[in-house]
Structure 1
Amino acid sequence: MSNQKKVVHSQGREIIYNVYKFMKNEKDCGEVSIPLNRLQERVAEATGVGICTRRRIIKEAENKPVGSKFTSPRKNINQPKPKQSVDQYEEEIIRNIIYTYADIHKRRPTMKAVFEAVKDEEGVNFTGKIHSFRRLVHKIGFRWKKTQDNRKTLVEKFDIKAKRVEYLRRIKRYREEGWNIIYCDETYLHSLHTSPEAWDDGSNRCLKAPVGKGSRFIILHAGGATGFVPNALTIFKSGTKSGDYHHEMNSENFMKWLTEKFVKNVSAKSVLVVDNASYHNVPVQASPTSAWKKADMQKWLMERGIFFEQKCTKAELYGIIKVHKPVHKIYKIDQILAESNIPVLRLPPYHPELNPIEKIWALVKNHVAAYNTTFKLDDVRKLAEAKFEAVTVQQWQNICSHVEKIEVEYMKREYIVDEVEDLIISINGEESDESDFFLSSDEEQVDEKEVQGGSSSSNLADFGCELLT
């Protein structure tokens, strides 16, 4: 017999005790309660296990390899349904809920509290659980931040805030100097795109939405407060390889559109606003990485007139490169548009609400969904082109004015954040960098009761942390 100790779980303990009681009862009575030749009944009575369960166990024991252990039956776990994804406008609503939560509810915007507020918001159709919501909040750029009493509140990552402030200052300066702000983007439109709901009397004779999505168009366009850039609309079918613009969007197609349709038709003194898609921002030359040879790193630094000591190690050289790389990185789009004196302005990450053309896409798609009854690709294209023609300059101006108001609100919040963070630092009596503010992924997975726990804070530092949102 092995001397190794085994852990006996609750069900095993119960069976052992049942066998003990069965044998003790026979001893006390001085007779066998169930004859020995009725083996199955004796086992069932002694263990307290049903006849069917006993048969399954015996069968498993006879079939399992010698020396192997019994296995536990797999539990039927109800897997949660995948969350319903939110669109870019719903992300904007969630962001604003987090920003204004402290002012409206006079309490910390914890994950659970914000989650409940989002569920009550009519404009957001989010059906996922809180764990899915946490991932969504991380996706749009928020992280947990320690406060003075080690509780947590939601704030945005510093690098995203910095990029947003840089963008807001630059676009404000361009407007003040009289530049024409042009926004460009791509979107998709399926041949089966339609409204998911319709009137129905139960007879199944009404118009039905087809199953699936069908073939897909890729749409590329640009415009601003003066309307669309003339002749810049490009619509091509994805998934094929016949001819120009007839396969999936990539940097080659985008650069072709840029030179042939945008530059030739855009008005003078225009600025192009793009997002951070990889095919928008293809570098002219590859940037150094830690995998580069030491000699190549030295050459890159010398070509750009950046000082370094010859005795520097490869790690030290790469540290110098990382500081200067963002300044010296040149993109093809900047190079192409510089020839026409068109500056490029990049949206901050996770901020589609700052691109008015996103709402133009919504106008077009809603029109197609309302009038698409044939579900043919050519008909969908005609519907989309007709709606693009119908979008007025006034609609563009209204949407751009709305975006400008959002920009102003963002900038107001940045000044409040700066003042409150300085106040917190003065109270703590020490300086902190970003590594102090942001927790690791393990630390973020805290129990919701712990996050919610504690009494309402009344000191100045807690009040400041609430204002951060």
Structure 2
Amino acid sequence: MSKRGTVLHGRAREIVCNVDKYFESEKQRHLGLVQQLRSVSVFPGPGTDRNNITLTREVYEIILETLQNTSRVAERVQIATGINKNTLTRIRHEQRDAQASCSKVTTPKKKPRRKSIVCDNFEITALHNIINSIYTVRKEIPTLKKIFATAKEDLGFPGSRTTLRRILVESLGYRFKKCQSNRLALIQRPNIKAWRAKYLRRIRQNDALGVNKKPVIYLDETWIHAHYTVKKCWQSNTIPGVKKNDSAGRRWIITHAGGENGFIDGALLMFKSKTKTGDYHDEMNGANFTKWINERLIPNLPKNAIIVMDNAPYHSMEASRAPNMNSRKAEMQLWLREKHIAYDECYTKAELYQIIKRHQPPKDYVIDKIFNAHEFEVLRLPPYNCDLNPIEYIWNLIKRRVADKNVRQLESEIERITLEAIASITKEDWVKEINHVKRIEQEYWQREIFEDDDNFRFVINTGESSSEEENSTDSCSEMSGVEVLDSD
């Protein structure tokens, strides 16, 4: 007996075809015999004429039923071979096609697995915002069906509902579980919400100054590879179109900054990566970033500017960092002595760490000190909020323009095409994306005000660890700061 999912190989499929053919021929032979048998006379007893056959009605009906059963070919083939109806139908189609092409029935080829959908940081943040808006704006429960429909319409999400579910679970950390109260809400860690509120308040304060406001400059890094091209194009049997190379190959790392007046002149840094990991963080480290800040960015910045950046590790190097729970006990004790903070020698590491937390000074970032020395203000984006950085949308626009031109996908051309795409970004492009971010900022601000109302009831998870509060790096691909009470 064949089991569901078992592949019948070429010889086995040929045997099924032979059995099917034999039963079909048997059916054809018996059709005429059945007609003749129906026309004969049935006598109640033995006859004297040797040319006539005398049968009882019981024997006659058994013979007739046996012959008629041969007309149920498909059923007999299934019983004889142990295959199901759908498999037999497919094999019959294959047999007809093989006869038409004068070939044999062969083992079916494996269907190629669909390429998994991988969302970048920006798309993951957008999915998170869709779920959050369904809760707080539409005042509805964000079922998978609603999230999928909105993602298709707003983001052009290319995957299936199963793929979306995988992304929600694996990349965003959502889970579907039984309701524990009559009010469902989605909420982020309180420290991240406070961070976002502080960021938005400073931006709104600067915007309120009108013509006297400080220029806001957004900086970020991205990468591109030689085989970055369109996913779809017009093509026919004679014109195949673009051949997409699935191997990314070498990356080019791009660092730049800009604002409502466009990119900062002279601030572009673009170089070829020496690794193939696909992560620009491997080579855009603290030393390279600091060198870029000092040599290319600061000399070209407008005076009295506000610098907006995320919390990448090389953006957040500390001049003097307080010990954490992973530090050695001797390091904790030394830090406390240098700060002239009293402690008992018999204290455990956990007790020492609690004292350190109570006396821990604000983080002293190296990059912030460099900018402050030149009278620039640094404003850090809240974790998991790449959508508040207009340059993320500019990167997307640049990559689309590269894809439109990168037909041959040659490493010798990708740098030129990318530089042309960057040069094509206008002041109007920046203003458009900044206005888009302003609308998002307004939505966030209204949401914060709404959730600040005492009439808005929600549940807060108070089980977060101190390490989570201490190390909230800006990784939009890991939404560890989001707690889900229910989603369907």
User: TM-score band (shorter)?
Assistant: 0.5 to 0.7
Distance 1:367 1:141 in 2: 33
Aligned-pair distance for 1:134? 5.8
Which residues in structure 2 correspond to 1:75-94 (within 5 Å)? 83-94=116-127
1:185 is the counterpart of 2:220: yes
Match of 1:365 among 389, 395, 399: 399
What does residue 222 of structure 1 align with?
A: 257
1:266 is the counterpart of 2:298: no
1:231, 1:261 within 8 Å by CA — same for their partners in 2?
Answer: yes
What does residue 321 of structure 1 align with?
A: 356
SS at match of 2:315: coil
Distance 2:197 2:416 in 1: 40
Distance 2:112 2:243 in 1: 30
Q: Which runs of 5 or more residues in structure 1 are unaligned?
A: 1-49, 53-77, 426-431, 453-469
1:142, 1:155 within 8 Å by CA — same for their partners in 2?
Answer: no
- Seen in structure 2, the aligned counterparts of structure 1 residues 376 and 138 have a Cα distance that, compared at 3 Å, is closer
Percent sequence identity over aligned pairs: 36
Answer with 1 or 2: which has the greater Rg.
Answer: 2
1:168 is the counterpart of 2:200: yes
1:156 is the counterpart of 2:188: yes
Which residues in structure 2 correspond to 1:38-437 (within 5 Å)? 83-102=116-135, 107-110=140-143, 112-118=144-150, 120-121=152-153, 123-127=155-159, 129-130=161-162, 133=165, 135-136=167-168, 139-140=171-172, 149=181, 152-176=184-208, 178-203=213-238, 206-239=241-274, 248-304=283-339, 313-325=348-360, 327-419=361-453, 423-424=456-457, 434-435=461-462
- Seen in structure 2, the aligned counterparts of structure 1 residues 317 and 85 have a Cα distance that, compared at 3 Å, is same
Distance 1:217 1:190 in 2: 6
Aligned-pair distance for 1:312? 5.2
What are the Cα deviations for residues 387-410 of structure 1, in whole angstroms up to 9, with x where unaligned? 222222222122112212211110
What are the Cα deviations for residues 337-387 of structure 1, in whole angstroms up to 9, with x where unaligned? 221122221111111110101111122111111112332234221222222
- Seen in structure 2, the aligned counterparts of structure 1 residues 416 and 259 have a Cα distance that, compared at 3 Å, is same
* Residue-pair matches, total: 359
Amino acid at match of 1:375: Q
What does residue 56 of structure 2 align with?
A: none
SS at match of 2:252: strand
TM-score (norm 2): 0.63
Amino acid at match of 2:305: S
What are the Cα deviations for residues 175-224 of structure 1, in whole angstroms up to 9, with x where unaligned? 44522111111111111211122222213554433342232211100011
What are the Cα deviations for residues 223-243 of structure 1, in whole angstroms up to 9, with x where unaligned? 1112211100011000169xx
Aligned-pair distance for 1:167? 1.5
What does residue 34 of structure 1 align with?
A: none
2:250, 2:275 within 8 Å by CA — same for their partners in 1?
Answer: no
TM-score (norm 1): 0.65
SS at match of 2:452: helix
Distance 2:434 2:319 in 1: 32
